[in-house]
């Protein structure tokens, strides 16, 4: 069986190595790249190089930014007494989309995971602790994903922070708004029951 021509196969392989791109999608993308005009391909490659060279971590919150300090940390409008701690820059975007939270963030860039060889030093915990020294921050909201590793990371961090006299909270567990109870898993239902409120 003849395959695609080598340079095309190579490009397909490269696309297929990207996350959540299967073989068929990789083919479609490679064919699309071949069919693009030179300017578009140039702009695509420039975007990759540009992002790689410009994007780095905010000196304060470790979120991705093109500047030394990210827009949120630099903003005068944010509540500087509250910090929401998340795993990933995309989680910051998720909270920002709610238009409700006006505090600051801290991005851990991962969770503690002995199985994947990720120790506390590998994620941005020391940067978080360093932020607490000036006494401005009154509350840390732990918002790691509700996984075993996310919870363990939250516990680890809260044990470090509580002795400093800073309030540590975590997101409420419960049933998602608009969800169908029938499809809720039992752990979520147990947590929702435990956290029930007066109405």
Q: Rg of the Cα trace of the chain?
A: 22
**Binding string, 1-40, against a copy of itself, x = CB under 8 A?**
xxxxxxxx-xx-xx---xxxx---x-xxxxxxxx---x--
Q: Which is nearer to a copy of itself, 37 or 186 (CB)?
A: 37
Residues 131-190 that bind a copy of itself (CB under 8 A): none
Is residue 78 within 8 Å of residue 99, measured between CB atoms?
Answer: no
Q: To the nearest whole angstrom, how small is the minimum distance from the Cβ of residue 91 to a copy of itself?
A: 12
Q: With binding defined as CB under 8 A, does residue 48 bind a copy of itself?
A: yes
Residue 131, token pair as written in the block: 């932020």
- Binders of a copy of itself among residues 67 to 126 (CB under 8 A) are 67, 70-72, 75, 88-90, 92-93, 96-97, 99
| Minimum CB distance to a copy of itself, residue 130 (Å) | 22
Residue among 94 and 171 whose Cβ is closer to a copy of itself: 94
How would DSSP label each residue in 12-78?
HHHHHTSTT--HHHHHHHHHHHHHS-HHHHHHHHHHHHHHHHH-EE-TTT--EESSSS-HHHH-SSS
Report the residue from 60, 61, 62, 64 that binds a copy of itself according to the rule CB under 8 A. 64
**What angle (nearest 5°) sits at the alpha carbon of residue 129, between those of residues 127 and 133?**
115
Contact 184, 169 (CB under 8 A): no
Cα gap 168→162, rounded to integer Å? 7
Can you give the binding site for a copy of itself, defined by CB under 8 A? 1-8, 10-11, 13-14, 18-21, 25, 27-34, 38, 41, 43-45, 47-52, 54-55, 64-67, 70-72, 75, 88-90, 92-93, 96-97, 99
């Amino acid at each position: 069986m003849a395959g695609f021509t080598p340079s095309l196969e190579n490009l397909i392989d490269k696309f297929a190595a990207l996350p959540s791109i299967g073989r068929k999608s990789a083919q479609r993308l490679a064919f699309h790249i071949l069919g693009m005009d030179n300017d578009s391909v140039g702009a695509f490659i420039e975007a990759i190089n540009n992002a790689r060279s410009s994007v780095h971590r905010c000196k304060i919150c470790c979120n991705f930014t093109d500047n030394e300090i990210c827009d949120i940390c630099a903003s005068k409008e944010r509540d500087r007494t509250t910090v929401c701690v998340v795993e990933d820059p995309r989680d910051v975007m998720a909270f920002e989309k709610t238009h409700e939270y006006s505090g600051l963030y801290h991005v851990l860039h991962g969770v503690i995971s002995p199985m994947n060889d990720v120790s506390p030093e590998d994620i941005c915990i020391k940067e978080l602790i360093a932020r607490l020294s000036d006494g401005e921050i009154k509350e840390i909201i732990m918002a790691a994903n509700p996984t075993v590793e996310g919870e363990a990371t939250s516990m680890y961090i809260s044990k470090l922070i509580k002795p400093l006299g800073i309030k540590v909270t975590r997101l409420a567990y419960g049933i998602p708004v608009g969800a169908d109870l029938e499809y809720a898993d039992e752990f979520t239902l147990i947590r929702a029951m435990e956290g029930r409120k007066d109405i």
